[in-house]
Every structure is written in structure tokens, then in C-alpha cells.
Amino acid sequence: MANFALKYQSTLGLITLTGIEVDTLVIALVKTSFTTIPHSLPVMDFVITIDPQASLPLHRQVYEELRRAILSGRLAPGQRLPSTRSLSQSLGISRATVIQSYDQLFSEGYLETIVGSGTFVAHQLPDDLLRVAPITSTPSATSSSIPLSAYGQSLTDRAFSRLPELEAQINFSYGRPAYDQFPINLWRKLLSRHCLANLDVLDYTNSSMGYRPLREAIADYLARSRAVQCSAEQIVIVGGSQQGLDLITRLLIDQGDWIAVENPGYLGARRVFLAQGACLFPVSVDQFGLVVSSLTRGIIPNIKLIYVTPSHQFPTGALLSLPRRLELLAWAQNSGAMIIEDDYDSEYRYGERPIPALQGLDQGNSVIYVGTFSKVFFPALRLGYLVLPDNLVDVFTRAKWLADRQSSLLEQYALTDFITEGHLERHIRRMRSLYDQRRQTLVESLFAYFGEKVQIIGENAGMHLMIKIHTNLSDGEIIQRAVEVGVGFAAAHSNYLKDSPSSEFILGYADLNEQQIQAGVRRLSQAISEN
């Protein structure tokens, strides 16, 4: 096949290739167009292949190629075909052959003609043709036998199958802010402001760390509001906290390394750790957050990372107390472990004491601080950040380059303005007050309808609370009964790595108004009390 030579011609926009040595394949790039859509769409490129040496007659091959294209949808109803003259020239075959193919397709209902306009794929294809499976000329595909990597194999575990998304009229799903309260018009204005044909916003950034003014704005904001001590040089912008956790795990964890996690704890993080082959060491949680003393009692493996959610422990809502914070930092210094501080929901505290971030209390380089804007803005905004010890900045920047080079630059520009012009803190203040009302409504409703039968856990922060219902029903029965009356929420048990209790549920309230919250709790109490 080494002497493969090429001859090409270009006629009426049709381009043909004849492979001399192989001498069996003729390929044409065919231009077709839609005419049924009001503002006529552009001509579209479309490739067909025939084989002059094959036993199947040429007109049959053209017929098969076009029919397959129609059935597979590559040629859509209403799309114009090239003229028989163009196609014959393009394929280097006689026009009579093409006419024969077209006639066959026409007679079978695949094509229709409009006088003075040309030949089109029929708008209404024969029903029986659409009912059969699409034909293919290739033999049925053999399954790829390539084995997955260890990482890939770990993902096929059923622990990674996602729970079906709840569909309910009143959905207490968690992690969802009040979408209708986000100043979307302002966001649009900020995006538009930077939507300019200039190199800066369209090009690759010169650093995968992210847009520098954004990193500066974040450093300022964190210093003010969370007592985080960092410069812009320690911040790497990532695609949400999820990418942050993934990069941390890839860069610091090998198969078999130990990671301590809160029990219960955030499943999204645990999955990342497990996928990377980490062994997980569960540490229990009480009303003051992680029970740090568990890390120094009994037989403890050599822990390399510990993952904590100190501002609003997920899902219990506990705030990690100051003594526990200091104790955790001291433990990390002594043991050489790194702390991943996932400070999600730190924005929302209701009438409660602020406690500085672990990162700001740290006297060494033991903390990687993970933050995200997905919860304060909206989840589809995939922007978060890592605050790193100086000695890790370089390797994280390289890993970010390899992972996806950079996060959406336009959104980084808009976010910078949103922060520096004061909209972020204004929005947080508004939401804090709104969520506080909604939280109070939820707490009051729960007591009103459930009374003694409900115990509320961790209600003083964040966008959700956890409840324990005293009942004989199983978790599945409760969820099912709730769904039947149009109420959705999640059981807490999948967040436990061990000692999973029943009857614990997570109720998000940020995106529900007071009427919805009251109605949801009422319906729920009725559904559960019925036998």
C-alpha cells in the first residue's frame, strides 16, 4: 500500500478522491442543504463511499449508502440531495447509475422531488422502515477487549452507580441554592462586558493557575471573611471543588494510602478517594464536629490525608469547635498528615459564632483549603479554588494544565467583577437572611407536625439540616411514601462509611419558599402517620 497515489478534481464544490493503488474505494464529499427551515441553513458536508471493484453493482452501492444515511439520520428529512449530474461527476461514475439509485430510493419512499427545486429526503419516511433496526453494511461490531486501568476498574464498582434523581413537586434536595434569587441579569451583564473579540478573554491564559485578578479577589475575600492567610500566588482556580478534590487525590495519594474521612461524610469526596485506590479510615462526628481524639486512640494506620468539612459538617451540620480545630492541627503537625479543609457552606451561619478557617489557624503547611462558588452562585458555574501551601503550588498548576489547561475564562472575568464590585458579599448577606427564614420555617413546621417524633440535627448553618424521625418504618418506606405525596428528600445512610443508622434524612430548604416548606412537611407527616 506504500505507493498509494492521489488524483483529485474539484467540480461544483464536489471533491473526489480516487485511490489508485487500492483502486477500490471512491469517496465523495457531497454538499446537501436544508430548504425546509425558514432561514435557509448552510450547505452541509456529507461523505459517501463506493467501491468500483466490489461485486455489488454501483447503482446498488450508491442506493445502499444513501439509504443507510437516511435511516441513520445522517441525512435528515427535508434535506436536499445533490443533483444526479453533480453526484455522478463527484463519484466518477455515469449519471445513469446515479439516476438508477435515486429512482429506487424514490420508489421506496425515501426521496421526494419538488418541481424546480430538486430532490429531497422524504419528510415522511415509510413507517415500516423506521420500525426495523437501522441497517449497517459493516458486520456487527466486535466488543473492544481493552482492559481498563486500575483506576477505570475501580469505577465499575457498583458503589459508583448514582442514585436516581428524585422527581417530586416539593423537593427538599440539598446543595441547591435559591435559583430564582440569583442576580442573573447582573451576571449576564458581567459576562457581556467581557464578551469581546480580544486576545485576553479568548486565548489560553498564560498560567493554568487561573486569572490573576480573580485569584487576588479571592485572597482578599478569604482574608476578610474566613481569616484565611494566603496570597494570590497560593490560589489555583479549578472546575468546582470536585476538580479540586480530584487533583489533590491524584497528586498526593497512591493506591493503598490511607485517608481519614468523617463518618458520616461527603460521598462525592469519598468516591474520588476510593477511585484513586485509597483506603479510608472513618472518624466519627458529634455535635462539635470530627472527634479528633479518635485519631490518637487505638491502632491507627499511617494517615496521609484527612478530609474535613469544618464550617458545616456534611451531612450533620456540626461546626468544628475551636479546641477541636487546634487539636486537629496539632495532630496533623505531629503525624505529618495533610488536612483537606472543604469549607463549603461557610457563608451561611445563622446567629452563630464564626470560627476562623483551619487554614488561618495553621502554623505549618498542613492545610489545603478547598472553596467553591457553585453553592453561592449556582451549581452549573464550575468555578472553585484551592489555597495551597507554597511548596505545592507548582505541581498543582501543572496538574491543572494536564487535566484541562484552564477553567472558563469568560466566567472567571465575570466572577472577578462580581467579587470586587461587592456583589458577592451583598448576595451572601441577602441569602443568609432568606435562608435563615426558610430554616426557621422548616424547624417550626417539623415541630408543629412531628412534635416529639422528630429530632433536628445541625440547624444553625448551611442550606440543609438533618433530621431523625422516630418511626417503625424503614428508610425506603418513608422515601416511598413521601414520593407518593409529591415530596422528595434523601436518606442520610449512604453518607455513612460504617455504623449507618436508619431514619436519618437530609432536608435542603434553600430553594423552597415558606409555603412549599410548610406544605411539604405537612404532607410528609400525614404520609408517615398513615398505616
Write down the residue that cell numbers 409529591 correspond to.
486
Question: Which of 18-26, 102-110, 114-122, 492-500 is the region at the interface with its own copies (rule: CB under 8 A)?
Answer: 18-26
CB-count burial class (<10 Å; 0-12, 13-18, 19+) for 402: exposed
Q: Which of 195, 451, 474, 515 binds its own copies (CB under 8 A)?
A: 195
Q: Which of 12, 54, 56, 251 binds its own copies (CB under 8 A)?
A: 251
Q: How many CB atoms lie within 10 A of CB 210?
A: 25
At 206, list the grid cell: 498564560
In terms of CB distance, is 107 or 145 closer to its own copies? 145
At 277, list the grid cell: 485506590
In terms of CB distance, is 287 or 474 closer to its own copies? 287
Is 279 a residue that touches its own copies (CB under 8 A)? no
**426 CB-near residues (< 8 Å, 6+ apart):** none
Looking at residues 66 to 105 of the shown chain, list those that interact with its own copies (rule: CB under 8 A): 69, 72-74, 76
Looking at residues 49 to 68 of the shown chain, list those that interact with its own copies (rule: CB under 8 A): 49
Distance between CA atoms of residues 315 and 289, nearest Å: 11
Is 17 a residue that touches its own copies (CB under 8 A)? yes
Looking at residues 429 to 488 of the shown chain, list those that interact with its own copies (rule: CB under 8 A): 429
Question: Which of 81-89, 243-251, 435-443, 514-522 is the region at the interface with its own copies (rule: CB under 8 A)?
Answer: 243-251
Looking at residues 314 to 353 of the shown chain, list those that interact with its own copies (rule: CB under 8 A): 321-324, 326-327, 333, 336-338, 351-353
In terms of CB distance, is 298 or 351 closer to its own copies? 351
Tell me, what amino acid is at 11? T
Looking at residues 299 to 318 of the shown chain, list those that interact with its own copies (rule: CB under 8 A): 304-305
In terms of CB distance, is 425 or 477 closer to its own copies? 425
Task: Convert 390-400 to b/e letters by CB count within 10 Å (16 or more is b).
Answer: eebbeebeebb
Looking at residues 131 to 190 of the shown chain, list those that interact with its own copies (rule: CB under 8 A): 136, 138-139, 141-146, 148-152, 155-156, 160, 162, 165, 176, 179-182, 184-185, 187-188
At 244, list the grid cell: 479540586
Closest by CA position to 482, among listed 215, 169, 238: 169
Closest by CA position to 67, among listed 130, 116, 17: 130
Binding-residue total with its own copies (CB under 8 A):
146
At 157, list the grid cell: 464498582
- Size of the chain, expressed as the number of residues it contains: 531
- Rounded to a whole number of angstroms, the minimum distance from the CB of residue 64 to its own copies is 14
Distance between CA atoms of residues 158 and 160, nearest Å: 5
Is 355 a residue that touches its own copies (CB under 8 A)? yes
Closest by CA position to 99, among listed 110, 112, 83: 83
In terms of CB distance, is 209 or 527 closer to its own copies? 209
Question: Which of 52-60, 91-99, 250-258, 476-484 is the region at the interface with its own copies (rule: CB under 8 A)?
Answer: 250-258
- Rounded to a whole number of angstroms, the minimum distance from the CB of residue 315 to its own copies is 17
- Rounded to a whole number of angstroms, the minimum distance from the CB of residue 420 to its own copies is 9
CB 525 within 8 A of CB 449: yes
Q: What is the Rg, in whole angstroms, of the alpha carbon atoms belonging to the chain?
A: 31
